[in-house]
Structure 1
Amino acid sequence: MPISAQQPTIAIKPIVVPADGRDFELQVKVTAPVRGADLPVIVFSHGNAWSMDGYEPLVDRWAAAGFVVVQPTHLDSRRFGIGFDDPRFGAIWRVRIADLHGVLDHLGHVMEQAGLADRVDRSRIALVGHSWGAQTVGALLGARVLDDAGNPGEDFSRDGIKAGVLIAATGTGDSLTPFAVEHLSFMRPDYGTMTTPALVIAGEKDQSRMSTRGPDWFFDAYRLSPAPKRLMIVANGEHTLGGIAGEAVTETTDTDPARVTLVADAVGAYLFDALDIRTDAWSEFRVAVETERSASLRRKD
């Protein structure tokens, strides 16, 4: 169920983005189709420990379908060696948010460096993130972080973002494990103010080690945020949803290339619709999924 005809892509890295208060420079990778104009932009936030070099199974498919994808490397990337016990770690969630704002502030510079300044449509920008990246994206869509008393913190929302996609996004903080309470106190999102349209993608069998709840923890971003939102629960999917971070990645516990394609195409179809590029894309995607599911059931019979 492809989101469109696929085409060759190019990738440019590293591009340095001006950023203050960082121990390491902010670098991004840009992936784009070889051809096309007025291209929409996805800014993608990776999960904990990853970098701009991960998630190629998603990014390459989006670029081949007609998106320009910008991937920053956040400070929690394993290449920087800032672990849970590093005194800098407690503030990384804020730096992550600042990274996305910085990329958006300097998007013109990034596109110029990538040779794409005349090919992008900067009125059509979406944010996508996985895991910690999903919570980071959620902050720019309007979600806030609650303090220990349950009071909402700073508003990091960003004007001009048409839509977002949260993949395996952190749920509410009332069921955090002791480890998460100690090291990941920012995992207390309040989705009540996340007003930007978004698609929430969650794995049916995603059991987080950070929460005592089951896979429904990852539905909170959908259940607790204002409309318009959409939810897609991936059958049998775990936290990396078949291997979205890369092929043969050790963190993947549910390897399934078809599942990766499903997630990639769901994001592409939703954004085509939400960005008013192809307003029938999401409905067509859903029909294709149901048709394939029915055919699969008939084959099993």
Structure 2
Amino acid sequence: MSRTTHPADIVGPPVPVLSVGPVVLPAPGRAVDLEMRVSAPVTGAELPIILLSHGQGHSNHLSSLHGYAPLADFWAAHGFVVIQPTHLSSATLSLDPGTPGAPLYWRSRAEDMTRILDRLDVIETAVPQLRGRLDPSRVAVAGHSMGGHTASLLLGARLTDPDDGTEVDLTEPRIKAGVLLAAPGSGGDALTEFVVENYSFLRTTDFSRMSTPALVVAGDKDESAHLTVRGAAWHTDPYVLSPGRKTLLTLFGAEHGLGGISGYDVAETTDENPERVSAVQRLTWAYLHTELYPGSSAWQTARAALTSGPGAFGRVESK
């Protein structure tokens, strides 16, 4: 198979998508109400749900409900309802830097996802075309970069709150599977001095109880020198250090943007590669479809087509 070919039978043909935003959830106690974008196929019932957590790049709007269209559009066109909250860390909100939790709001990010699952009825009311079409028993979470950290907490990773020294457990049992895209790895001496001083919550990341099934996606050229002294291998920690069923997809030649998943033609992508993005779209879709629908052969098909032979986009290992 050539690098430009993606067999249609990996995912099937796309369907029209409706996308509504901002959908606003009242959020007492949060600095502002929770805004999100909801994207879904226009047809179908008992639709599975993906909660998509944005990263924290340099652009103003990618870190909000306006970002990650290459993933959200694709997943929705192939049968998922994709919900994208704007976390408090988004530059679009222009919050006072003295707001509790600033600058990255690691706890609030995870709590946003639990709030969404608690209020799916409100979301259905706000988007009438979805009423009665959601399947709350099939929920996944996906996140890129800082969003990967958020997803890891929901999947069972722990940390010690740097403010009060307590262990934090934000595991969300309603989430059945996850995708971690260029997610942060372990803390301790793996971190740069800048991270230790400015993002101290990352010092105590512990994957030893992250037992929910997950696909960890890492670029073999993602050095992230501003975050870690360990190079690209740091982003594989959520796979290496966690228990349970996990799969690692290492993308050849990929840097932190994994080819450009955070938006179409965005300046902060250092490794722009539409073919790589296409492979990520299909592999992540196939993984989640197989996890949420046991017996599905989607992952087996996508893995064989995209990670084997001379045109392989990456390599896969599982445990």
Does the TM-score normalized on the shorter chain lie above 0.5? yes
Structure 2 unaligned segments of length 5 or more: list them.
Answer: 1-5, 58-62, 314-319
Match of 1:134 in 2: 148
Does the 8 A contact of 2:306 with 2:312 survive in 1? no
- Whole-Å Cα distance in 2 between the matches of residues 48 and 156 of structure 1? 20
Q: Distance between the aligned counterparts of 1:239 and 1:83, measured in 2?
A: 28
Between 173-182 and 65-74, report the one with greater CA deviation: 173-182
TM-score, with structure 2 as normaliser: 0.87
Counterpart position of 1:186: 201
Identity of aligned residues (%): 44
Q: What's 2:111 paired with?
A: 98
Root-mean-square deviation (CA, aligned residues, Å) is 2.0
Unaligned runs of 5+ in 1: none
1:274 corresponds to which residue? 291
Kindly indicate whether residue 184 of structure 2 is the aligned counterpart of residue 176 of structure 1: no
How many Å separate the matches in 2 of 1:6 and 1:90? Answer: 38
Is 1:199–2:215 an aligned residue pair? yes
Q: Does 1:260 align with 2:277?
A: yes
CA deviation after TM superposition for structure 1 residue 52, in Å:
0.7
- Asked if structure 2 preserves the Cα contact closer than 8 Å seen for 1:76 and 1:83, the reply is no
**1:134-176 deviation per Cα after TM superposition (whole angstroms, max 9, x unaligned):** 111111111011467xx87111111121111111111111221
Specify the alignment match of 1:21 in structure 2: 29
Q: Secondary structure at the match of 1:284?
A: helix
Return the alpha-carbon distance in structure 1 between the equivalents of residues 83 and 294 of structure 2.
19
- Report if the CA contact (8 A) 1:144-1:191 is conserved: yes
Q: Aligned pair in 2 of structure 1 residues 296, 88: CA closer, same or farther (>3 Å)?
A: closer
Aligned position for 1:110? 123
Measured after TM superposition, the shift of residue 91 of structure 1 is 6.8
**1:77 and 1:172 mapped to 2: Cα distance?**
24
Instruction: Give 2:114's aligned amino acid.
Output: H
Cα distance in 2 between the residues matched to 1:253 and 1:287: 28
Q: Residues 90 and 3 of structure 1: is their aligned pair in 2 closer, same or farther, counting only changes over 3 Å?
A: same
Residue 244 of structure 1: aligned partner:
261
Whole-Å Cα distance in 1 between the matches of residues 198 and 96 of structure 2? 10
2:69 to 39, 49, 56: 56
Q: Which amino acid aligns with 2:207?
A: Y
For the residue of structure 2 that corresponds to 1:294, the secondary structure is coil
Instruction: Give distance in 2, aligned partners of 1:256 and 1:83.
Output: 36
Preserved contact between residue 152 and residue 190 of structure 1 (Cα < 8 Å): no
- CA distance in 2: counterparts of 1:296 and 1:182, whole angstroms: 40
TM-aligned CA distance change 1:98 to 1:296, over 3 Å: closer
CA pair 259-296 structure 1, distance change in 2 beyond 3 A:
closer
CA change 1:87–1:183 in 2 (3 A) is: farther
Tell me how far apart the structure 2 counterparts of residues 294 and 40 of structure 1 sit (CA, whole Å). Answer: 34
Structure 2 CA distance, aligned partners of 1:82 and 1:215? 32
Shift in CA distance, 171/3, structure 1 to aligned 2, threshold 3 Å: same
TM-score, structure 1 normalization: 0.92
CA contact (8 A) 2:89 2:103 kept: no
Give the Cα–Cα distance (whole angstroms) in 1 for the partners of residues 166 and 247 of structure 2.
24
Cα gap change, 1:267/1:295 in structure 2, threshold over 3 Å: closer, same or farther?
closer
Amino acid corresponding to residue 194 of structure 1 in structure 2: M
- Displacement, 1:20? 2.3
Structure 1 contact 144–152 (Cα < 8 Å) conserved: no
After superposing the two structures, state which structure 1 stretch, 201-210 or 269-278, moved more.
269-278
Distance in 1 (alpha carbons) for counterparts of 2:211 and 2:28: 29
Alignment of 1:42 onto 2:57: no
Aligned residues: 294
The range that moved more, 176-185 or 273-282, is: 273-282
Aligned counterparts, 1:216-235, within 5 A: 216-235=233-252
**1:238, CA displacement in angstroms?**
0.6
